[in-house]
Amino acid sequence: MLLVADPQILDAHSYPGRHPWLVWLSQQIVDLNMRKSWRAAQTLHPDVVVLLGDMMDNGRMSYPVGEYQDYQQRFQRIFRHSQPIPTYYIPGNHDVGLKGRPLGVSPDSAERYVSHFGPLNQLFELGNHTFVLIDAPGLVTEEDMRARSGYTYPHWVDMNPNGIIAFIRSLAPHDSPNPRVLLTHIPLARPEGASCGPLREHGTIRQGEGAGYQNTLTPHTTEFVLQHVRPSLVFSGDDHDYCEYIHKFGSSDADDTPNAGTVKEVTVKSISMAIGVRQPGFQLLSIGAPPTRFTTSLATVPCLLPDQLGIYLNVYVPLLVFSLLLLLVSNLHRV
């Protein structure tokens, strides 16, 4: 399985402070690099592809129908498959928005996402494993509404039987004998300053939120999700850099099944060169036979791509300067 996070395909509104021709040039360079990265990923011949949200940088914004379709089709052209491969998507905050509706966000962003990318929440089976794909931005929004209302989870589900909370509560651990893998755009909660391991480029995942984003789910929501899904492995996106963290759960009152457990979460690097990481990447997941007491059935590894910005700055620019100097010296000698 190939996991890709945060392509965030640029559009004319991605850099509001830049001159339009510079925005166009940035878009062309980033699109070209993303196509090359996608072709490299396809040489690994994945059986399934999952995109972990934020497919388009401004997918949540209000657009005329034709303009949005052109934007989405550009995404599809970049991530075109050389042969048919099952592909699944989960929504990110740049796709559907988050908590309220900041200026410019389309009121139809979720419906538009569904019509172009598929369900907001879904399950699929692969290799005797169940993959749980959740609408993390929708969960943040709905959990905020539930908490403000003061309703308990059962009461809320009775009132909102088609919501994301109802979807997660329906995933009783005993309903499936297969191990589960949780896929969420927004990372799960962890202590402030928790280490992400040696493969991260800089810093860590910090708690915080603002207009249209939230860095992690809250501890309460994280406990609620883990207690009901009880996954063997978690993948997330949104942060753009790589992170590994081991979660412990089962010690709070977020749910009525307080069985303790631990699970590893992998936050997948963005595949884009344009959003803060020098080496973009993607993630591979291999699925084996169901686990036993002494073996695991899941193996995952990050795959790093070249530092394209470093290549431009440290190779192309010096070569350009050298070539110009060589031409200047040559012309001076002729004079």
pLDDT, position 143: 95
Residue 188 scores a pLDDT above 50: yes
Residue 267 CB coordination number (10 Å): 27
Q: Which two tokens stand for residue 94?
A: 């740049």
Q: Is the pLDDT of residue 175 over 90?
A: no
Please tell me which residue, 82 or 300, carries the higher pLDDT value. 300
CA-closest candidate to residue 280, choices 77, 34, 75, 106: 34
Three-state secondary-structure class, residue 186: coil
How far is residue 266's CA from residue 301's CA, in Å, rounded to a whole number? 10
pLDDT of residue 317: 80
Is the per-residue pLDDT at 291 higher than 80? no
| Residue type for position 275 | I
What pLDDT score was predicted for residue 255?
47
Amino acid of residue 129 = H
Q: Percentage of residues in the chain with pLDDT exceeding 90?
A: 72
Amino acid, single-letter form, for residue 137? P
8 pLDDT exceeds 70? yes
Supply the pLDDT for residue 327.
Answer: 86
Residue-wise pLDDT for 229-282, tens only, equals: 999 999 999 999 999 999 999 865 444 455 678 999 999 999 999 998 999 999
Mean pLDDT of 103-131: 92
Contact at 8 Å (CB) between 137 and 185? yes
Tens-digit pLDDT profile for residues 59-71: 999 989 999 999 9
pLDDT value for 83 = 85
Chain centroid to Cα 139, Å, comes to 15
What is the pLDDT, as a whole number, of residue 158? 94
For residues 228 and 104, the model is more confident at: 228
Q: What is the pLDDT of residue 123?
A: 96
Reduced to 3 states, what is the DSSP secondary structure of residue 230?
coil
* Average pLDDT, integer, range 69-97: 95
Is the four-CA dihedral 284, 217, 128, 48 of positive or negative sign?
negative
Read off the pLDDT of each residue in 71-85 and give the average, rounded to a whole number: 93
State the amino acid at position 163 in one-letter form.
Answer: G
- 334 pLDDT higher than 90: no
75 pLDDT above the threshold of 90: yes
- Is 80 exceeded by the pLDDT of residue 102? no
Phi, psi at 109, each rounded to 5° = -60, -40
pLDDT of residue 292: 65
- Confidence at residue 326, expressed as pLDDT on a 0 to 100 scale: 86
CA-nearest of 266, 217, 221, 212 to 244 is 266
- Where do runs of H (alpha helix) occur along the chain? 20-42, 65-78, 93-96, 109-117, 136-149, 153-159, 164-169, 219-229, 308-311, 317-334
Q: What pLDDT sits at residue 335?
A: 65
- Per-residue pLDDT of 316-330, as tens digits, reads 788 888 888 888 888
CA atoms within 13 A on the CB side of 35: 13
pLDDT grade, residue 101 (50/70/90)? low
Both structure tokens of 201? 């480029």
For residue 183, the SS3 value is: strand
